[in-house]
């Protein structure tokens, strides 16, 4: 009997972990667009979206919504806000600048739309969506960061 209960609990956790979608499903409500700006010197033609990452929210309150990681000092400052098991490693900061943007809490999410670059200001635009009513969100608190990187420019 205990085994069936454990299996049920595991299946329930897996379903809730993946129920908050990242796609622009026809039932999702479009809330508008969000722009995030960064003062940085990059080659905008090299901007790419990388794999996102989740971290446990162990702070009272939330971390900053955006981070520009241009060097080891920026990376160390970001990592100091994390548990050691959640810390981020970036081995190519001599070539790339990374941009972290915190996704809103479930049931909302961002979907990349566009970017522009002018006068050393990078603007990344997202469409902001809300999953349909009844969406089940994970019970544990994590923060999802969307990650972009671009080659540094001189």
* Per-residue model confidence as pLDDT tens digits over 55-83: 876 554 567 899 999 999 999 999 988 88
Banded model confidence at residue 22, pLDDT cuts 50, 70, 90: very low
Q: Could you tell me which residues are beta bridge partners of residue 144?
A: 54
Position of tokens 């919504």? 65
Q: Are 37 and 122 in contact (CB under 8 A)?
A: yes
In the chain, the percentage of residues whose pLDDT exceeds 70 is: 78
Taking residues 100-125, report their average pLDDT. Answer: 94
Neighbours of 101 (CB within 10 A): 21
Residue-range definition of the domain harbouring residue 103: 2-151
> What is the total count of domains within the chain?
1
Closest among 102, 78, 114, 96 to 41, alpha carbons compared: 96
How far is residue 72's CA from residue 26's CA, in Å, rounded to a whole number? Answer: 42
| Highest-pLDDT range among 50-59, 107-116, 138-147 | 107-116
Q: Identify the pLDDT of residue 8.
A: 44
Taking residues 36-61, report their average pLDDT. Answer: 87
Tell me which of 70 and 24 has the higher pLDDT.
Answer: 70
Q: Identify the pLDDT of residue 120.
A: 96
């Amino acid at each position: 009997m205990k085994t069936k209960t454990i299996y049920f609990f595991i299946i329930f956790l897996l379903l809730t972990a993946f129920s908050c979608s990242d796609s622009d499903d026809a039932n999702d409500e479009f809330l508008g667009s969000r722009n995030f700006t960064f003062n940085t010197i990059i080659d905008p033609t090299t901007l790419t979206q990388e794999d996102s990452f989740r971290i446990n929210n162990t702070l009272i309150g939330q971390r900053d919504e955006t981070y520009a990681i241009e060097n080891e000092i920026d990376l160390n400052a970001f990592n100091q806000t994390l548990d050691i098991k959640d810390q981020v490693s970036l081995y190519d900061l001599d070539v790339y600048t990374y941009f972290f943007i915190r996704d809103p809490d479930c049931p909302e999410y961002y979907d990349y739309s566009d970017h522009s670059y002018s006068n050393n200001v990078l603007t990344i635009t997202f469409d902001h969506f809300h999953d349909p009513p009844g969406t089940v969100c994970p019970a544990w608190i994590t923060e999802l960061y969307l990650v972009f990187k671009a080659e540094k420019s001189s």
